[in-house]
Amino acid sequence: MKQSRIVCALLILFQFISVKTNAQYQSELSSKPFLTLKGSVDRKSFQTYLEVPFAIPDNVKRMTVYFTYNRNQRTTIDLGILDPEKFRGWSGGTRDSFTISDQDATPGYLAGALPAGQWKLLLGIPNIKENVKANYEAKIYIDTDYKITEFYDRPINTKPGWYRGDFHMHSGNSDGKCKAQSGLDAPCPVFKVVEAAANKSLDFIALTDHNTNSHAEALRELQPYFNQILLVPGREITTFYGHSNVFGLTDFLDFRTLKPSYSESKKWMDIVNQAGGIVSINHAGVPSGENCMGCGWQINDIPKNVISTVEILNGGSMNMSLEGKIQGWDLWHKLLNEGQHITAIGGSDDHRSSENSATIDNIGRPTTVIFMKELSVNALLAGLKSGKAFVDVEGTPDRFIDVFAANTSEKIEMGSTLKAKIADLITISIIVKGAQNGKVELVVNGKVENQFTKNIPTNEANVEINYKIDKNNTHIYAKVYDDKNNLILVSNPVYFEK
């Protein structure tokens, strides 16, 4: 239902400018607003409420309002909003922006459908002095399509660099538990999960409750408080034929996958990819059965470029086997050997908010370390897609691996592709930190090539290995073992194109 725009007579002036068509709404801050409302208040408005109407079209999924005003002589303008039918939130003088979506909203505001028609900004004027005129401006952004969600309107850290985090954990929004005041188990609040991750000094986490997106609202609330750890929209799409983490979106995704085929899973996979998110396959090798319903991955007809990442190590099964079939290695190698560029990641699959130190699957074990241009959701997704990332099996604060490949004309970094002809001699450079007296192995097309295994002599080492490209060679990655032969680091591949 679309209502015509109604222009009310108000005590204040307002105007609509820069109205855009739906197709032009791109990212909130990099594009122009849907509309900008401008006006002013003076002493006549003192201790009154003003309604500033504006119209939104059909099919809006999310609205963000940025409000600024001239605070001259302690002028204060409180902020709230009404939809065409009812009150939708109030933040008084405490916020200068808020978001309302059909799934979640800034604290103080009410999530839910955004009906088309006339909305009203609700302005309260608790203080304005005689002879003061204060201009205000409200920039209103709307989205009508699936879109990557940032819970914060700026990067957590603007510096480019390597950032450490965990892509898999559960709160009381699904089956995550922790001890209640009584000492008995209770559904674990999101706050406790994020706090546990912050206590491990992680740079980012994705909270991946099963099939629901109800935790998004808590993450939106917590992000400004935990402002040194990026909270990434995530969920574990949990089907009868496998579990898949998806990252980047808070929109509802129809997880009901009734056959082990892409024709059934595309309804959620395609939405995630079209919005710029990530589809990742979890604990692919875990057997499905009554102990773990639908846990093993069984959907094998997915076209190329739908899956972006594979969880090669899942904390929940690391105590059973690090390198065996129960983990995600086989699926990762299969997809790589099909010629796909798939980034390996790790996830703890923590269900206890790290409180049970007797188990191995605590938040941050394993961690995935990603090179990002800044610490934001969009940069994290781009970093994952670039493949410049590695898995730190034990989730240390400082172990490190980076891999480069070079021939006589070019040097490429981890995740990138080197043009190399058959019989070309290339140099693989592996920079390793924190693995003194350990060894590095090269894995070529999914198989360890023992003749290239090298010892790591120092805590910070640059190991160089010369390798002759053969006709089947599409990618090489590196595994690092410590001096007790425990797997501690896994790089992502460098790729070759003939």
Q: Which residues bind Zn ion (CB under 5 A)?
A: 236, 243, 282, 349
Task: Tell which phi-psi region holds residue 131, choosing left (phi > 0), alpha (psi between -120 and 50) or beta.
Answer: left
Least gap, CB of 425 to Zn ion (angstroms): 43
Return the number of the residue (57 or 260) whose C-beta is nearest Zn ion.
260
Looking at this protein, which amino acid is placed at residue 31? S
- Within 13 A of 199's CA, how many CA atoms are on the CB side? 11
Residue nearer to Zn ion on the CB measure, 28 or 311: 311
| Nearest to Zn ion of 143, 361 (CB atom) | 361
Least distance (Å) from Zn ion to the CB of residue 250?
Answer: 18
CA–CA distances in Å: residue 379 to residues 24, 46, 476:
22, 44, 25
Contacts of 147 (CB under 8 A, 6+ apart): 61, 62, 249, 251, 275, 276
Residue nearest to Zn ion (CB): 243
Angstrom distance (rounded) from CA 345 to CA 161: 17
Closer residue to Zn ion in complex, CB, 296/438: 296
- The nearest distance, CB 477 to Zn ion, in angstroms, is 24
Q: Looking at beta carbons only, is 157 or 356 nearer to Zn ion?
A: 356
For the bound state, the minimum distance from the C-beta of residue 311 to Zn ion, rounded and expressed in Å, comes to 9
Instruction: Give min distance, CB of 430 to Zn ion, in A.
Output: 31
Q: Which is nearer to Zn ion, 104 or 236 (CB)?
A: 236
Q: How many helices (H) and strands (E) does the chain have?
A: 5, 31
- Structure tokens, 479: 């595994």
Distance CA 219, CA 368 (A): 20
Q: Shortest approach of Zn ion to residue 189 CB, angstroms?
A: 18
Would you call 434 exposed, middle or buried from its count of C-beta atoms within 10 A (0-12, 13-18, 19+)?
buried
Which residue number, 242 or 493, has a Cβ lying nearer to Zn ion?
242
CB of residue 348 to Zn ion, shortest distance in Å? 9
Q: Are 123 and 52 in contact (CB under 8 A)?
A: yes
**Are 477 and 491 in contact, with CB atoms under 8 Å apart?**
yes
Alpha-helix runs per DSSP H in 229-355: 262-274, 329-337
First to last CA, the chain: 56
